[in-house]
Structure 1
Amino acid sequence: MAANVEDVIMLLGDSLTQGGWQAHGFAQQLAYVYNRKLDVLNRGMSGYNTEWIQPVFEQCFATQHEQKHVPAVRLLTIWLGANDAALPGTSQHVPLPTFAANLSKLIHMVTSPSSTHYSPVTRIMLFTPPPVNTYQWRVRQQSKTPPKGLDRDFEVTKSYAQAVVDVGAKEGVPVLDLWTVLWEACGKEEQNLSKFLTDGLHLNEAGYTILFQELMAAIENHYPELHPDRLKPVFAFHDQIDYQNPRSTLVKRNIFE
């Protein structure tokens, strides 16, 4: 399938994905490096877990019948778990086995030929949630009116991150293990995670920069044909225009050729 100017990278997730549009966020950086090649669609839904994101994804991702009329999703990132890992008794909590099953459902929606949303041109990458800094998050919770108790746990979030890794291995989908990357970057000291997190859960500029760098490396490793350096712009650079007959060169091109 030839690429259209509107072919896209779709980012599916929670507030960590939604926040990717903030200054120096990973979505913003992706949009810059893929400029004129692939557009970036951010479908991050703050506060969502894998239960709530499924009906949203069913409406955002085109069915097989619709795909001939809409831009193709060339890369889909799925970044969930930070809210699923909320402690039992909270509205966001999703039990670990259900969380893993939900991730597989999202993957199968795209990869299974029997799915109404099957898309053979779409490549998928999973992200793990980052480690939670309960020291920061406790302060954030206590600052609310009225104050709230701690609803996240370091080891629990770690188990959800491991579940993402396990699902990726089971489904044959690459995983960007942000949990391990940030844990090692902070010297394996929970309080040092404040270097990368704004409030104990969400990434700051330094955290998003690490994520973007890791994502570029993961694309190069797993889907090199999608790396921006290997893609042509959909429309020719200005010095490639036939100035005597510009319309002959100002046509959409297959960016993968």
Structure 2
Amino acid sequence: MAAYVQDAIMLLGDSITQGGYENNGFAAKLAHVYNRKMDVINRGFSGYNTEWALPIFEQCFATQHEQQHLPKVRLLIIWFGANDSCLPTREQHVPLPQYKANLRKMIWMVRSPESPRYSPDTRVILINSPPLNAEQWAGRQAAQEPPRPMERDSAVTRTYAEAAVEVGAQEGVAVVDAWTALYDAAGREEKALKKFLTDGLHLNEAGYAIVYDELVKTIKEKHPEYHYDNLQFVFVPFDKICEDLKNYKELTKKRSAFPDA
């Protein structure tokens, strides 16, 4: 009998993804609602941009040969842009055309039959970068020892966020527009983003809650077969065993999370 494994959701991104288990973040909430149905794999890397993440992704996502022996990644959620959109004075900066090309390459790596990592059962969702509260971030930079220069700009961040939406539309990939959702929640006032950001860039619990809600809504609308409400426990609920105690060994055999599989 093969060891117990579940299909998975993979999160790929920077510090905002890495922090997805903090402050009741979006990753923690996903793990809760998909518990016993799909595992949530967090591959967030603080400080990374799309350029640096490409070789990481090649090591994180299995090749076609390896996929035969591993659980399937059903949802790949890519969340980059916050570091790519740094000003050119910062090492993390990635020019806008290259940022878009890198997102396309990540999508191609799992969607193209020509790719070594082609995975036809994987659905890709992009999340764009949240809006920047420049005043809040500038205060954070000034408080460092020694003080650090301001290396981000609200308008530039917005341009990168819009570019991710553009890439999604061109590639036929769903996009969670975190920038717009958070900006609207702040009454379209940059200073009011303090309610959702810890330091002008990273999300607090309230900010993660907005992105989580938008992500779940996107899954339900674009990929309903992978929404947690449409999946079943890999192992039956205990009350099913209580109804037929003599057959508990049969009842406790692993099954697919997909009812029709």
TM-score range for the pair, normalised by the shorter chain length: over 0.9
Identity among equivalent positions (%) equals 58
Pairs within 5 Å for 1:77-156? 77-156=77-156
In structure 1, give the amino acid aligned to 2:142.
Q
Q: Distance in 2 between matches of 1:155 and 1:191?
A: 14
2:200 maps to 200
Question: In structure 2, what is the equivalent of residue 237 of structure 1?
Answer: 237
Residue 58 of structure 1 corresponds to 58
Distance 2:91 2:6 in 1: 37
Q: Distance in 2 between matches of 1:221 and 1:137?
A: 34
CA distance in 2, matches of 1:210, 1:180: 11
Q: Distance in 1 between matches of 2:47 and 2:23?
A: 20
Alignment partners' CA distance in 2, 1:212 and 1:99? 24
Runs of 5+ unmatched residues, structure 1: none
Instruction: Using structure 1 for the length normalisation, give the TM-score.
Output: 0.97
- The number of aligned residues is 254
AA partner of residue 61 (structure 1): F
Rounded Cα–Cα distance in structure 1 between residues aligned with 2:227 and 2:47: 30
Aligned to 2:254: 252
Equivalent position amino acid for 1:171 in 2: E
Residue 226 (1) aligns with residue 226 (2): yes
Q: Is the 8 A contact 1:5 1:37 kept in 2?
A: no
Q: 5 Å matches for 1:14-93?
A: 14-93=14-93
SS at match of 1:244: helix
* Deviation sequence 1:162-181 (CA, Å, 0-9, x none): 00000000100000000001
Could you tell me whether the CA contact under 8 Å between 2:23 and 2:204 is conserved in 1?
Answer: no
Any idea what SS the aligned residue of 1:27 has?
A: helix
Spell out, residue by residue over 1:192-225, the C-alpha distance to the aligned partner (whole angstroms, 9 max, x if none): 0001000000000000011111111111100011
Letter in 2 for 1:217: K
CA apart distance, 1:71:
1.2
Q: Secondary structure at the match of 1:245?
A: helix
What amino acid is the match of 1:41? I
Measure the CA separation in 2 of the matches of 1:254 and 1:184: 39
TM-score of the two chains, using structure 2 as the length reference: 0.96
Alignment check: 8 A CA contact 1:77 1:127 kept: yes
Q: Distance in 2 between matches of 1:14 and 1:136?
A: 20
